[in-house]
A and B are shown apart, each in its own frame.
Chain A
Amino acid sequence: MKRLFKPGLLIPIAIIVALAIWPLFSGNSASAREAMFTLIMSMALASSLNIILGYTGYVSFGHIVFFGIGGYAGFWVITHLGWHILPAALLGGLVAAIIAWLLGLAVLRLRGAYFALATIGILEAMKALVINLDFLGGPVGLEMHFSEYKRYGGPMESLWMVYWSMAFLAILVIVVSYFIKTSKFGLGLMAIREDEDAAEVMGVITPRAKTWAYVLSAVFPGIIGVLFFFKNGNIEPGDAFRLHFSIEWIVMLMLGGAGTVLGPVLGGGIYQWLRKTLLTSPIFKDYQLVVAGVMLLIIVLFVPTGIIGWVRTRSAKLRRIFE
């Protein structure tokens, strides 16, 4: 119980809650909601990725594959079987988890760059496969009939519902992430990150631990995929399996600090906020990618542990507060 009231857990949750309720207080709530949705979604996605990348040290480059798989599964049952969005979202998570488990059995044997390459291959293979599957709409994807929103009281109500679900999910990811980090299971993962062979010798059942980390890091992107594409009203292979977006999650993670609970929350927020600011600024509009690139390079070269990692090494007091 004492673990619950540690600042390491409460700070990230407080950040998300504060952001989530912001649209209620700002004048233009619809556009504030859209902005916050992007922000909170990024935080949740980066935090999910953190479980396999940050804690376990396995660089899953094509992690968006689970976002896409879950999105397609959920979208399909909504449009074809008439499911409600919430069970459909859970199904998306479940399908993503099962596929992660099956893939994990095979690819988690690979280490370092080989694993990173394999995840890119899996992503591209999955995208190419979906393009050929007619029941998923092939290259043009699936569209949702607009009357679907009526079921939830109209488009506005649907958007708000998706928004609150997203916020809830983000908090859940943080809680899971925190409990993994402070558990024996998490210690095992971090041992794998530092030295997999040594971890094995010390009694960590590495294949099982890795597979579980992979599955846990895949569940939430799967659920988020369903929410995201339900909100968009359509799903296409190009959006569901976009490598670039996947890499952006890594950038967010590195920015905030991989392997920490607060890092991905901070990184996701800062990255999306910067991107939005740069995109709408007339001077930087054309050069936003360059600015982001230079920023990433500086972080990788000089602050490889990210903001939170840097703060933690600098101050013993803050180390106790930031997890």
Chain B
Amino acid sequence: MGDVLFTSAIDGLLIGVIYGLAAMGLTLIFGVMDVINLAHGPLIALGMFGVYLLFTLMGLNPFVAVIIVAAIGLLLGVLIYFIAVSRVIDAPPLSSLLSTFSVNMIIIGIGTAMLSTSSYNVDYSLGTLDLGFFRAPGSRIAASLVALLTTVLLYFFLYRTRPGKYIRAVANNRISAELMGIPSTRILALAFGIGVMLATVAGGLIATILPINILAGGSYELKSFVIVVLGGLGNPLGALLGGLILGLIEGLVPVFMKTTWVPVIEYVLFVLILLVRPQGILGAKE
């Protein structure tokens, strides 16, 4: 029993870091501009296919491909911001929910027409890491490490660089930030771009370990919702914690009951936290 718990916990944490990274994109955007990005799932899927195509067509190492995907994700995010988000940023929440959902439909529509909804695999293996008491595919461990590294970089960016500090200032109070001479439109676009970038990177990493299809982002989007609420809406570092918690739930709950109960627990927890402690476990945005 102890063995299973240990293995399941480690497995859960490994995937949890990646979940956390995906959720960070969502929560950053919400924290800065109060927009829930409903195109999050399809953007994760775009990240997956970015890595898949770079790997399959150009033979690029998937972990190198993730860097290119990140750059494309940033640009795409800025583009989406100016097309779909900037006009509705001060409108009631329904407007931004629907405008980002329309982006969702457009991406899924184009993706389905071009790639169909069939599954693809990135055929890339780093062997199996066997420590005797614990075994895991090498690519899983590598993907988790890259996710962790990205989180650290994000932290540095937000707390140690000028644009990062601007983003936090705008998140805190856009009007005062503008009064202080911070170019808020540009900063908002940048924040949206980074949020999308994080989603695509997470998608790219997922592609290295799990099968992908154009609709696959949807389930990670739902997981991201749960995570951001766990970690506090608008709190990027809380998302990492939320991701780890979700990973642990997914790893450990099946040891005690059927795997199909996992989503029940996740979503009930999600609604309960929204009701009882909407600022999340760590507290909401600063």
Measuring CB to CB, which residues of chain A are less than 8 angstroms from any residue of chain B?
53, 57, 59, 61, 106-107, 109-110, 112-114, 116-118, 120-122, 124-125, 127-129, 131-132, 139, 247, 250-251, 254, 258, 286-294, 296-297, 300-301, 304
Contacts and interface: CB of A to CB of B under 8 A. Distances in A.
B273 to A, nearest CB: 9
B97 interface: yes
Contacts of B104: 293
5 contacts: A109-B275, A131-B260, A132-B264, A258-B94, A293-B109
A299 to B, nearest CB: 8
A167 to B, nearest CB: 29
Nearest to A125: B267
Nearest to A112: B93
Contacts of B19: none
Interface residues of B, number: 44
Contact of A116 (B97, B222, B271, B275): B97
B268 to A, nearest CB: 5
B23 to A, nearest CB: 13
B93 A59 contact: yes
A61 B271 CA distance: 14
Contacts of A291: 109
B98 interface: yes
Given A128-B260, A287-B113, A59 B97 contact: yes
Contact of A286 (B93, B106, B113, B271): B113
Given A113-B36, A301-B88, A288 B109 contact: yes
Contacts of B88: 300-301
B225 A117 contact: yes
Given A293-B105, A296-B102, A117 B258 contact: no
Contacts of A293: 102-106, 109
Nearest to B271: A121
B137 interface: no
B18 interface: no
Contacts of A250: 94, 98
A288 B163 CA distance: 40
B110 interface: yes
Contacts of A125: 263-264, 267-268, 270-271
A132 B36 CA distance: 30
A255 to B, nearest CB: 10
B274 interface: yes
Interface in B59-116: 83-84, 87-88, 91-95, 97-99, 101-106, 108-110, 112-113
Contacts of A112: 92-93
A264 to B, nearest CB: 15
Contact of A118 (B87, B91, B106, B274): B274
A284 to B, nearest CB: 10
A99 B91 CA distance: 31
A254 B229 CA distance: 27
B39 to A, nearest CB: 10
A28 B264 CA distance: 45
A320 B267 CA distance: 45
B36 A116 contact: yes
Contacts of B222: 120, 124
A287 B56 CA distance: 26
Contacts of B283: none
B274 A114 contact: yes
B275 A110 contact: yes
